[in-house]
Amino acid sequence: MKQMTTRRGTLLKILSVLTAMMLFYLTLPSAFGVSSSRAALDPLVTKILKIGKADAILLQCGGSTMVIDAGEEEDGQEVVENLREMGVSKVDVLIITHYDKDHVGGADTVVDAFEIGRVLLPDYDGASAAYQDLLAALERKAIRPERLSEAVTFLLGSAEVLVEPPTAYWDSGSSKEVDNNCSLVTTVTHGSMRLVFAGDIEKARIEQWLETGTVRDCDFLKVPHHGEYNKALQALLEALDPEFAVICTSDKNPAEETVLQLLKDQGTEVLETRNGDVTVISSGKGLEIWQE
C-alpha cells in the first residue's frame, strides 16, 4: 500500500490506524460530557476505483451511499463488488455525469444489483448503447431519473452535495466533445472540507462554469477528462487550488505531462488510478488519502 504526505508534510496513515483514530474522536463527546449530538461529523469516505481510463467513484457518509459514474460495461461488476465489500445494500444517489461509455457503461449493472434511491442525469439524450442500457435498467425497476437543467442540493449523511449542470446544453453540431461539455459537476462539502468531482468537462464547459461564479477553492479535485490538457484548465486549477487531486488513468493512457506540471505548480499532491484504487477520508476538518 502506497502512502502520501500532505502538503504540510504530515505522514498519512494506513486504514487500520485511521479507523482507530476515527473511533477515538467519535467517542470524545460522550467521554467529556459534551451534550451536542453533532460534536463530531460522520466520516466521509470516498473511493476512486482503478478501472482504466474510466470513472467510478463511491462515497459513503452516515450510512448513505452515492455513486458518481460506473466505468465501462465490463467494469459494472467490479463496481458492484466494491459496493458490497463496503456493506452497501442501497445506493441512495446514482449520478451519471455524462453518457460516454467510460462513465455510463457499468451503470445498468449497478441499477440491477441494488435498491436505488435517486438517479441524477444530465438533461440531454445520449448516443451510446450503454446509455440505452441504463434507461432499460431504470425502466425495469420503474425508476424515473431526474434530468438536471438546474443545480440541485441534498444531504449525504452529514455532507452537503451540490450537483451543477451546464447553464446551457450543447447540441451535437456545436461541439466536438458534446458529451464531455455536458458533464454534471458535483461538489461535496463536509465540515470545512470541499471535494469536487468534475466529470469530463473541457474548455467550453470550464469557461461556462467559471463565468457562473460558483467555482471556489477546494481541498480535493477529481481532475476532469482523465488528465487531458485544454486551454481553460489552468484557470480552473487556479480557481479551485486543490490540496489533493486524483486523475482516472490507465498505463496506456496516463495523464498528460502538461496537466501534471500545472498541478505541481499549484502545490497539489496528485495520484493516478493507474497505480491503484484511491481512498480519501474526510473528518470534516482534514483529509487522509492513500493508494492501494
pLDDT in the model for residue 177: 61
* 3-class secondary structure, 11: strand
Count Cβ neighbours within 10 Å for each residue of 12-51 and write b for 16 or more, e otherwise: beeeeebeeebeeeeeeeeeeeeeeeeebbbbbbbbbbbb
Sign of the four-CA dihedral 155, 156, 157, 160: negative
Report the predicted TM-score, pTM, of the whole model to 2 decimal places: 0.87
Residues of the chain with pLDDT under 50: 1-3, 5-21, 23-38, 172, 174-176
94 in Cβ contact with 116 (< 8 Å): yes
CATH 1.10.1530.10 correct for 42-286: no
List pLDDT tens digits, range 138-190.
999 999 999 999 999 999 999 999 999 999 887 645 444 688 999 999 999 99
Residue spans of the domains in the chain: they are 42-286
